[in-house]
Structure formats: C-alpha cells, structure tokens
Amino acid sequence: MTPAAPIHACPAHLPADHPPVATGRIGVLLVNLGTPDAPDTASVRRYLKEFLSDKRVVEIPALLWQPILRGIILRTRPKKSAHAYAQVWGPEGSPLAAITAGQARALQARLGDGVIVRHAMRYQSPAMATQLDALLAAGCERILVAPLYPHYSGATTASALDALADWIKQRRRLPALRTLPPYHDDEVAIAALHADMARQIATLAFVPDVLLLSYHGMPERTLHLGDPYHCHCRKTSRLLAAAFAQSHPGMAVMTSFQSRFGRAKWLEPATDTTLVELAEGGTRKVAIAAPGFSADCLETLEELALRGKEDFLAAGGTDFAALTCLNTSQHGMDLLEALVRRELAGWIAV
C-alpha cells in the first residue's frame, strides 16, 4: 500500500517529466468507531467479525474467544443487529458514517484550504490506512489524528492508536504526528454539551424531571485494570450536573451505562434498568442524552431513542425524549474546530 505519487520534498531530485508533487501541508484525520456498509446480515457479520476480533475490545485470549465468536456470536447476532440497523438506516447510509463524513466536510469548510480534513473508521471503511495514505499523497507532512471519543478507553481511543501504529510500521516516509487527547472535562466541551442539550430541552413539549446521561458501557474489570473510562464519564456527568444545577435547578441529572455485551459484569447502573426503575419509582418525564458519542449511531438512535422510550413508557413513564448528539450542530462543530485548532496551533496559525 504505497501512495501513488512519491512524497518527495526536493523536486530537484525528481525526473524532469515527473508530475508536480505537493508538500508541506497539514492534514487532520477524524476517526470514529466504524459501522457496517449495509444493514444486512452479511455486512453486519463482516463488521462484527473485525470489531469483536480486536483484542482491545474483547480482552479474552483468542484461543478461547475466537471459537465463541465464530461458533456462536457470528451465527446469531448479525441477523438481530441487521434488523436494528435497518430501523435507523438513512438515505446516506449508516448514521454514524453519514454524520462523521458531514463533520469532516464542515470542519474542512471552517479550517480553509491550509488544512486537509478527512475522516476514517477504525473498523470497515473508509479505513484509517487508506485515509492516512491519501493525506500523505496530498502532501501532508504533519497529520493530526483525532479519535472522536471524549472519554479515553482501551477499546476505543487506544484501538484507534493501534491502527495508527500499524500504519506507521508499514511506511518508510512518515509525517509528523499528533493525536487528540481525551476531552471529557474540557471546558469548551462541557459548555458545548450543556448548551446543545439545553437548546434541545427548550424545544420539548414537556419539562424533564430527570436528564439521564447514558454512556456506552465497558466490562467492570477494565476499571479495576486501570482504564480511566469510568472516571472520565463520571467527571463529564459531574461537570454537566453542575452546569444544569445553575440553568435547570429543578431537573435531576443522573448517569447510566448502556449496550451491555456478553456475560461479564459491566459498569453500572445499566441504562435500561435505570429507565424502568425511574418510571416505577414515579418519575414521569425523562430526557436522555449520550455525551460520550460525538455522532448519533445505532446505540443512540435504536437502543436509546426507540427501545429506551418503549421501556420507559411501558413501565409507567409519560414523556420521553432522546436528545441528539453534537453531530454537525453549531455547538458540535464549534467544539470540533476549537479542539483541532488548539492542536494545530503547535504547528501553524490557522
């Protein structure tokens, strides 16, 4: 996988008939998790096979895990998940893919021609290696790799950096590289989340008694092994709760963890049981938000907005609203631009 054109800083050394070669540019690669190419069983199986074979995601020795994955999970889950994906699939495909591509386009427009912005997915396409090669071929000698996870986790941030490291090992000529740090407690991020959630709450036909902040779960074991994910999520919640205590004093802010997978104990409380317990305990009006996801995806649109609503109403709740993620909203793009500009400031004023 070598780029089509040699990345060569000294045109004098190129053959006279060589096409012009761009150099000296800055690239930004936005990275998110990845999603199937289509909402059908075969595509979801391909996606799950790649995703769930990542040792950062399932930390069970391959000799034990691969037979379970291939013999059980990949025979049953793809069909069920494909059905869930079909419920949220849009005209531009998977919401996660469409929104991440939109974020890259919007950021490109904000940063101007001095910087080249692309997006990639850790699993499936567009692959990180392909997009990094494209940035190199376009003359980028400095690249910021920005995994769009506010909360660091081995399963997400570190896995994206693994893919970057694999690419590094296979290339002769490398750009200078930076990576975006987690931004779970960043003032600008908390302000953007608070403002965008408040904007959406103001449009609801009801006043929520509770704002439930739902984060993707992780096996509890990872917390004891030193993964900061749980602490990062809790800190975001604490900072958002403090902001809402000022702006919405009557609204309680709670935290839960969603998308449990497998039999091990995951971080608690679980979002689905929390919603039922809230309704059974007399809470009637709930808004739910997912501050750990920079783009809406299966986990927010199907698990929270559809299934979460069903569970809450069935248990006696009367009003339920799932707030959207920051996506390409004004607040979302202001945040992405601020985070990226801060990193690029070490290289050049843009």
Ligand X SMILES: C=CC1=C(C)c2cc3[nH]c(cc4nc(cc5[nH]c(cc1n2)c(C)c5CCC(=O)O)C(CCC(=O)O)=C4C)c(C)c3C=C
Considering only the stretches 129-137, 167-175, 243-251, 289-297, report the one whose residues sit in contact with ligand X under the rule CB under 6 A.
Answer: 289-297
Instruction: Name residues contacting ligand X, limited to 122-141 (CB under 6 A).
Output: none
Residue 299 marked as a ligand binder: yes
Nearer to ligand X, 82 or 140 (CB): 82
Q: Which two tokens stand for residue 148?
A: 């769009």
State yes or no: residue 10 binds Fe ion (CB under 5 A): yes
Which CB, 229 or 244, lies closer to ligand X? Answer: 229
**Which token pair is 161?**
């950096």
How far is 337 from 341, CA to CA, in rounded Å?
Answer: 6
State which residue, 141 or 299, has the beta carbon closest to ligand X: 299
Q: Which does 218 bind (CB under 5 to 8 A by kind): ligand X, Fe ion, none?
A: ligand X
Stretches 7-15, 62-70, 187-195, 295-303: which one binds ligand X (CB under 6 A)? 295-303
Backbone dihedral region of 259: left (phi > 0), alpha (psi from -120 to 50 degrees) or beta? Answer: left
> Which residue among 4, 13, 226, 349 contacts Fe ion (CB under 5 A)?
13
Residue 31: alpha-carbon gap to chain centroid? 8
How crowded is residue 93: how many other Cβ atoms within 10 Å of its Cβ?
Answer: 15
For residue 126, is the peptide bond before it cis, meaning its omega torsion is within 30 degrees of 0? yes
Ligand-binding site membership of 141 (annotated): no
Which of 36, 139 has the CB closer to ligand X? 36
DSSP character string of 83-129? HHHHHH-BTTBSHHHHHHHHHHHHHHHHH-TTEEEEEEESSSSSBHH
| Smallest separation, CB 190 to ligand X (Å) | 18
CB-based contact 275:315 (threshold 8 Å): yes
10 binds, among ligand X, Fe ion, none (CB under 5 to 8 A by kind): Fe ion
Cβ 127 to ligand X shortest distance, Å: 15
- Judge whether 180 and 107 are in contact, CB under 8 Å: no
Residue 184 or 248: the one with the smaller Cβ distance to ligand X is: 184
- 299 is a contact residue toward ligand X (CB under 6 A): yes
How far apart (Å, rounded) are the C-alpha atoms in residues 296 and 301? 7
CA distances from 84 to 122, 151, 179 (A): 21, 25, 33
Report the nearest approach of Fe ion to the CB of residue 329 (Å).
Answer: 23
* Footprint on this chain of ligand X (rule: CB under 6 A): 33, 35, 48, 57-58, 77, 81, 94, 96, 149, 153, 155-156, 216, 218, 229, 259, 261, 292-293, 297-299
- Annotated binding-site members for Fe(2+): 216, 299
